[in-house]
Protein backbone atom coordinates (compact mmCIF):
# COMPACT_ATOMS: atom_id res chain seq x y z
CA UNK A 1 0.00 0.00 0.00
CA UNK A 2 2.77 2.43 0.87
CA UNK A 3 4.73 4.17 -1.87
CA UNK A 4 8.38 5.28 -1.64
CA UNK A 5 8.78 8.96 -0.89
CA UNK A 6 9.56 11.20 -3.86
CA UNK A 7 13.11 12.54 -3.93
CA UNK A 8 12.98 14.72 -7.06
CA UNK A 9 13.07 18.51 -7.07
CA UNK A 10 10.12 20.39 -5.65
CA UNK A 11 8.84 23.45 -7.52
CA UNK A 12 6.91 24.68 -4.48
CA UNK A 13 9.72 24.79 -1.90
CA UNK A 14 8.06 27.25 0.48
CA UNK A 15 4.84 25.25 0.48
CA UNK A 16 6.78 22.01 0.98
CA UNK A 17 8.58 23.50 3.99
CA UNK A 18 5.25 24.48 5.54
CA UNK A 19 3.18 21.39 4.73
CA UNK A 20 6.00 18.94 5.44
CA UNK A 21 6.68 20.90 8.62
CA UNK A 22 4.43 22.76 11.07
CA UNK A 23 1.23 22.71 9.00
CA UNK A 24 1.46 18.98 8.35
CA UNK A 25 2.20 18.25 12.01
CA UNK A 26 -0.73 20.41 13.15
CA UNK A 27 -3.20 18.88 10.71
CA UNK A 28 -2.07 15.38 11.60
CA UNK A 29 -2.51 16.05 15.32
CA UNK A 30 -6.02 17.39 14.70
CA UNK A 31 -6.85 15.07 11.79
CA UNK A 32 -10.28 14.15 13.17
CA UNK A 33 -11.29 17.81 13.43
CA UNK A 34 -9.95 18.68 9.98
CA UNK A 35 -11.75 15.67 8.46
CA UNK A 36 -14.95 16.92 10.08
CA UNK A 37 -14.23 20.59 9.28
CA UNK A 38 -15.64 20.48 5.77
CA UNK A 39 -17.89 17.40 6.00
CA UNK A 40 -20.91 19.05 4.29
CA UNK A 41 -18.60 20.40 1.57
CA UNK A 42 -17.03 16.96 1.23
CA UNK A 43 -20.42 15.29 0.72
CA UNK A 44 -21.13 17.66 -2.17
CA UNK A 45 -17.62 17.09 -3.52
CA UNK A 46 -17.90 13.29 -3.36
CA UNK A 47 -21.16 13.41 -5.28
CA UNK A 48 -19.64 15.67 -7.94
CA UNK A 49 -16.54 13.46 -8.27
CA UNK A 50 -18.86 10.54 -9.13
CA UNK A 51 -16.04 7.98 -9.05
CA UNK A 52 -16.99 4.81 -10.96
CA UNK A 53 -16.10 1.24 -10.06
CA UNK A 54 -13.21 0.90 -12.54
CA UNK A 55 -11.82 4.43 -12.33
CA UNK A 56 -8.15 5.10 -11.67
CA UNK A 57 -8.21 8.19 -9.46
CA UNK A 58 -5.48 10.75 -8.71
CA UNK A 59 -6.09 12.83 -5.55
CA UNK A 60 -3.96 16.00 -5.54
CA UNK A 61 -3.04 17.53 -2.19
CA UNK A 62 -4.73 14.65 -0.39
CA UNK A 63 -3.55 15.51 3.13
CA UNK A 64 -4.52 12.78 5.59
CA UNK A 65 -6.31 10.95 2.78
CA UNK A 66 -10.03 11.25 3.53
CA UNK A 67 -10.92 11.99 -0.10
CA UNK A 68 -8.49 9.34 -1.36
CA UNK A 69 -10.13 6.70 0.81
CA UNK A 70 -13.57 7.84 -0.33
CA UNK A 71 -12.42 7.43 -3.94
CA UNK A 72 -10.92 3.99 -3.26
CA UNK A 73 -14.19 2.79 -1.72
CA UNK A 74 -16.05 3.90 -4.85
CA UNK A 75 -13.45 2.53 -7.28
CA UNK A 76 -13.90 -1.06 -6.12
CA UNK A 77 -12.35 -2.46 -9.33
CA UNK A 78 -10.02 0.51 -9.84
CA UNK A 79 -7.52 2.39 -7.69
CA UNK A 80 -6.81 5.66 -5.92
CA UNK A 81 -3.45 7.41 -5.50
CA UNK A 82 -3.13 10.32 -3.09
CA UNK A 83 -0.23 12.75 -3.56
CA UNK A 84 0.85 15.37 -1.03
CA UNK A 85 3.89 17.32 0.18
CA UNK A 86 3.52 16.21 3.81
CA UNK A 87 5.18 13.00 5.00
CA UNK A 88 3.37 13.16 8.34
CA UNK A 89 -0.08 13.48 6.83
CA UNK A 90 0.64 10.68 4.36
CA UNK A 91 1.82 8.37 7.13
CA UNK A 92 -1.48 9.04 8.88
CA UNK A 93 -3.37 8.38 5.64
CA UNK A 94 -1.60 5.06 5.13
CA UNK A 95 -2.36 3.95 8.67
CA UNK A 96 -6.07 4.74 8.34
CA UNK A 97 -6.20 2.98 4.97
CA UNK A 98 -4.69 -0.15 6.48
CA UNK A 99 -7.13 -0.02 9.39
CA UNK A 100 -10.03 0.31 6.95
CA UNK A 101 -8.77 -2.63 4.87
CA UNK A 102 -8.44 -0.64 1.63
CA UNK A 103 -6.17 -2.60 -0.70
CA UNK A 104 -6.64 -0.39 -3.79
CA UNK A 105 -5.25 2.85 -2.32
CA UNK A 106 -1.69 4.19 -2.22
CA UNK A 107 0.02 7.43 -1.29
CA UNK A 108 3.05 9.31 -2.59
CA UNK A 109 4.99 12.23 -1.16
CA UNK A 110 5.62 14.43 -4.19
CA UNK A 111 4.97 17.81 -5.80
CA UNK A 112 2.12 17.45 -8.29
CA UNK A 113 3.45 20.42 -10.28
CA UNK A 114 6.58 18.55 -11.38
CA UNK A 115 6.18 14.87 -10.51
CA UNK A 116 6.70 12.67 -13.58
CA UNK A 117 3.36 10.90 -13.75
CA UNK A 118 3.05 8.18 -16.38
CA UNK A 119 1.07 9.65 -19.28
CA UNK A 120 -2.67 8.97 -19.38
CA UNK A 121 -2.51 6.81 -16.26
CA UNK A 122 -5.64 8.15 -14.51
CA UNK A 123 -9.30 8.50 -15.49
CA UNK A 124 -10.21 11.09 -12.86
CA UNK A 125 -8.27 13.77 -11.03
CA UNK A 126 -9.75 15.12 -7.81
CA UNK A 127 -8.69 17.65 -5.20
CA UNK A 128 -10.51 19.07 -2.20
CA UNK A 129 -8.81 22.33 -1.24
CA UNK A 130 -5.44 21.00 -2.43
CA UNK A 131 -4.68 22.97 -5.61
CA UNK A 132 -4.59 26.62 -4.52
CA UNK A 133 -0.89 26.77 -3.61
CA UNK A 134 1.01 26.02 -6.83
CA UNK A 135 3.91 28.32 -7.68
CA UNK A 136 2.97 27.99 -11.38
CA UNK A 137 -0.65 26.85 -11.60
CA UNK A 138 -0.71 26.55 -15.41
CA UNK A 139 2.33 24.27 -15.33
CA UNK A 140 0.88 22.31 -12.43
CA UNK A 141 -2.50 21.70 -14.05
CA UNK A 142 -0.75 20.93 -17.32
CA UNK A 143 1.27 18.25 -15.54
CA UNK A 144 -1.88 16.87 -13.92
CA UNK A 145 -3.61 16.88 -17.31
CA UNK A 146 -0.68 14.88 -18.75
CA UNK A 147 -1.48 12.19 -16.15
CA UNK A 148 -5.15 11.98 -17.24
CA UNK A 149 -6.52 10.10 -20.23
CA UNK A 150 -7.95 12.25 -23.03
CA UNK A 151 -11.41 13.26 -21.93
CA UNK A 152 -10.47 12.43 -18.33
CA UNK A 153 -12.34 14.39 -15.69
CA UNK A 154 -10.92 16.89 -13.22
CA UNK A 155 -13.05 17.78 -10.18
CA UNK A 156 -11.78 20.41 -7.75
CA UNK A 157 -13.14 22.06 -4.63
CA UNK A 158 -11.64 25.49 -3.91
CA UNK A 159 -12.55 28.38 -1.65
CA UNK A 160 -14.56 31.29 -3.00
CA UNK A 161 -13.39 34.85 -2.26
CA UNK A 162 -12.11 35.72 1.20
CA UNK A 163 -15.03 38.06 1.93
CA UNK A 164 -17.48 35.19 1.32
CA UNK A 165 -15.85 33.03 3.98
CA UNK A 166 -16.65 33.92 7.56
CA UNK A 167 -14.10 31.42 8.86
CA UNK A 168 -11.33 33.69 7.62
CA UNK A 169 -12.88 37.15 7.94
CA UNK A 170 -14.13 36.70 11.52
CA UNK A 171 -10.92 35.11 12.73
CA UNK A 172 -8.79 37.72 10.99
CA UNK A 173 -10.88 40.55 12.48
CA UNK A 174 -10.46 39.06 15.95
CA UNK A 175 -6.70 38.80 15.58
CA UNK A 176 -5.80 41.78 13.42
CA UNK A 177 -8.58 44.30 13.93
CA UNK A 178 -8.64 46.88 11.15
CA UNK A 179 -5.25 45.97 9.69
CA UNK A 180 -5.48 45.31 5.93
CA UNK A 181 -5.59 41.72 4.69
CA UNK A 182 -2.39 40.22 3.31
CA UNK A 183 -1.50 40.73 -0.38
CA UNK A 184 -3.06 38.23 -2.76
CA UNK A 185 -0.04 37.71 -5.03
CA UNK A 186 1.37 34.21 -5.21
CA UNK A 187 -0.08 31.00 -3.74
CA UNK A 188 -2.78 31.50 -1.13
CA UNK A 189 -6.07 29.82 -0.13
CA UNK A 190 -8.15 32.05 -2.43
CA UNK A 191 -5.98 31.91 -5.56
CA UNK A 192 -8.71 30.08 -7.54
CA UNK A 193 -11.65 31.98 -6.06
CA UNK A 194 -12.31 34.11 -9.18
CA UNK A 195 -14.00 31.90 -11.81
CA UNK A 196 -12.49 33.93 -14.65
CA UNK A 197 -8.98 33.41 -13.26
CA UNK A 198 -9.53 29.71 -12.57
CA UNK A 199 -11.06 29.12 -16.00
CA UNK A 200 -8.17 30.92 -17.69
CA UNK A 201 -5.62 28.77 -15.85
CA UNK A 202 -7.39 25.52 -16.66
CA UNK A 203 -7.93 26.47 -20.31
CA UNK A 204 -4.25 27.35 -20.70
CA UNK A 205 -3.38 24.01 -19.07
CA UNK A 206 -5.36 22.02 -21.64
CA UNK A 207 -8.79 21.60 -20.06
CA UNK A 208 -12.23 22.32 -21.53
CA UNK A 209 -15.89 22.11 -20.53
CA UNK A 210 -15.14 24.05 -17.34
CA UNK A 211 -18.03 24.61 -14.95
CA UNK A 212 -18.52 26.07 -11.47
CA UNK A 213 -21.02 24.96 -8.82
CA UNK A 214 -21.67 27.21 -5.83
CA UNK A 215 -21.48 25.46 -2.44
CA UNK A 216 -22.48 27.21 0.79
CA UNK A 217 -22.05 25.06 3.88
CA UNK A 218 -20.63 25.65 7.38
CA UNK A 219 -17.16 24.64 8.47
CA UNK A 220 -16.47 23.04 11.84
CA UNK A 221 -13.54 23.84 14.11
CA UNK A 222 -14.17 21.47 17.00
CA UNK A 223 -16.69 20.31 19.58
CA UNK A 224 -16.14 23.32 21.87
CA UNK A 225 -14.30 26.67 21.92
CA UNK A 226 -11.26 25.21 23.74
CA UNK A 227 -10.58 22.66 20.99
CA UNK A 228 -11.40 25.25 18.33
CA UNK A 229 -8.87 27.64 19.89
CA UNK A 230 -6.14 24.98 19.74
CA UNK A 231 -7.02 24.21 16.11
CA UNK A 232 -7.14 27.84 14.96
CA UNK A 233 -4.10 28.88 17.04
CA UNK A 234 -1.95 26.41 15.10
CA UNK A 235 -2.97 27.52 11.60
CA UNK A 236 -0.34 29.28 9.52
CA UNK A 237 -2.66 32.23 8.93
CA UNK A 238 -2.97 32.71 12.70
CA UNK A 239 0.77 32.35 13.22
CA UNK A 240 1.40 34.91 10.49
CA UNK A 241 -1.04 37.39 12.03
CA UNK A 242 0.63 37.10 15.44
CA UNK A 243 4.14 37.54 14.05
CA UNK A 244 5.57 40.89 15.03
CA UNK A 245 3.18 41.52 17.90
CA UNK A 246 4.68 42.01 21.33
CA UNK A 247 3.61 39.65 24.11
CA UNK A 248 0.84 41.91 25.38
CA UNK A 249 -0.61 42.57 21.93
CA UNK A 250 -0.51 38.87 21.09
CA UNK A 251 -2.32 37.91 24.28
CA UNK A 252 -5.02 40.51 23.68
CA UNK A 253 -5.45 39.23 20.11
CA UNK A 254 -5.80 35.66 21.38
CA UNK A 255 -8.34 36.79 23.97
CA UNK A 256 -10.40 38.33 21.16
CA UNK A 257 -10.08 35.05 19.25
CA UNK A 258 -11.45 33.12 22.25
CA UNK A 259 -14.44 35.47 22.37
CA UNK A 260 -15.10 35.04 18.64
CA UNK A 261 -14.92 31.24 18.86
CA UNK A 262 -17.27 31.20 21.85
CA UNK A 263 -19.73 33.38 19.91
CA UNK A 264 -19.79 30.79 17.13
CA UNK A 265 -20.60 27.86 19.37
CA UNK A 266 -23.80 26.09 18.37
CA UNK A 267 -25.34 22.68 18.91
CA UNK A 268 -22.64 20.19 17.96
CA UNK A 269 -19.61 22.47 18.03
CA UNK A 270 -18.03 25.68 16.73
CA UNK A 271 -19.12 26.63 13.20
CA UNK A 272 -18.45 29.39 10.67
CA UNK A 273 -20.17 30.17 7.38
CA UNK A 274 -18.19 29.18 4.27
CA UNK A 275 -18.50 29.24 0.48
CA UNK A 276 -16.63 27.13 -2.04
CA UNK A 277 -16.68 26.26 -5.74
CA UNK A 278 -16.79 22.81 -7.23
CA UNK A 279 -14.90 23.16 -10.52
CA UNK A 280 -15.38 20.43 -13.13
CA UNK A 281 -13.42 20.12 -16.38
CA UNK A 282 -12.20 17.59 -18.92
CA UNK A 283 -8.77 17.11 -20.41
CA UNK A 284 -8.72 18.06 -24.09
- Which pLDDT score, from 0 to 100, does residue 182 have? 60
Q: What is the mean pLDDT of the chain?
A: 92
Residues 25/235, Cβ–Cβ less than 8 Å:
no
Helix, strand or coil, per DSSP, at residue 20: coil
pLDDT digits (tens, 9 = 90+) for 118-175: 999 999 999 999 999 999 999 999 999 999 999 999 999 999 999 999 999 999 999 9
| pLDDT tens per residue across span 31-48 | 889 989 999 999 999 999
φ, ψ of residue 53 in degrees (nearest 5): -60, -35
CA 109 to CA 96: how far, in whole Å?
A: 16
| Alpha carbons 41 and 25: distance in angstroms, whole number | 23
Its pTM stands at 0.91
Helix (H) or strand (E) holding 68: helix 66-74
pLDDT tier, 76 (very low <50, low <70, confident <90, very high otherwise): very high
Q: How far apart are CA 104 and CA 85, in angstroms?
A: 21
pLDDT at 180 over 80: no
Which of the four pLDDT bands, split at 50, 70 and 90, describes residue 9? low
Domains and CATH numbers, the chain: 13-161+184-221+276-283 (3.40.50.150)
Amino acid sequence: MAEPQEARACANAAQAAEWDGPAGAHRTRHAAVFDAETRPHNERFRTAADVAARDRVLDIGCGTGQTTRDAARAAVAGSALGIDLSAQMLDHARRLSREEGLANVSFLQADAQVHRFPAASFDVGISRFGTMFFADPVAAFGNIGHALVRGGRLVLMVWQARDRNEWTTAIREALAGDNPPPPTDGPHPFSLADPAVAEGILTAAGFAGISFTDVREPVYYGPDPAVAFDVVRGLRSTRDLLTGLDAGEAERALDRLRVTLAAHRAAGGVFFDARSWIIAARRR
